[in-house]
Amino acid sequence: MRRTSAFSFFDIVNGVIMILVIFFTLYPFVYLVAQSFSSEAAIYAGKVTVWPIEFTTKTYEVILSKPDFFRYYWNTIVYSVLGTLIAVTATAVMSYPLSKERLRLNKFFIPFVLFTMYFGGGLIPNYILVAKTLGMRDTIWAIVIPGAISAFNVILMKTFFAGLPNELEESARVDGLDVFGIFMRITLPLSKPILATITLFVIVGMWNNWFGPSLYLQTKEKWPVALYLKQIIDNAVSPTEIGAASDQTSQIAATVKSTAMVLTSLPIICAYPFVQRYFVQGMLIGAVKG
Q: Is the predicted pLDDT of residue 130 greater than 60, yes or no?
A: yes
- Statement: the pTM of the whole predicted model exceeds 0.95: no
Where along the chain do its domains lie?
A: 5-44, 60-289
pLDDT of the residue at 3: 55
Q: Is the predicted pLDDT of residue 235 greater than 70, yes or no?
A: no
59-99 confidence digits (pLDDT tens): 888 778 877 888 898 999 999 999 999 999 999 999 999 98
181-216 confidence digits (pLDDT tens): 889 888 998 888 889 889 888 998 899 888 999 999
Q: What is the DSSP letter of 100?
A: -
User: What is the rounded CA–CA span in Å between residue 102 and residue 177?
Assistant: 19
Alpha-helix runs per DSSP H in 99-135: 106-118, 123-127
pLDDT of the residue at 103: 82
Secondary structure (DSSP) of 171-208 = HHHHTT--HHHHIIIIITGGGHHHHHHHHHHHHHHHHT
Domain 60-289 has CATH 2.102.10.10: no
135-162 confidence digits (pLDDT tens): 999 999 999 998 889 999 999 899 889 8
Q: Is the predicted pLDDT of residue 233 greater than 70, yes or no?
A: no
3-state secondary structure of 163: coil
pLDDT of the residue at 267: 81
Single-letter residue type at 175? D
Sequence-ordered list of residues with C-beta below 8 angstroms from that of 52, at least 6 positions apart, any chain: 33, 34, 35, 37, 38
User: What is the rounded CA–CA span in Å between residue 32 and residue 256?
Assistant: 11
Sequence-ordered list of residues with C-beta below 8 angstroms from that of 8, at least 6 positions apart, any chain: none
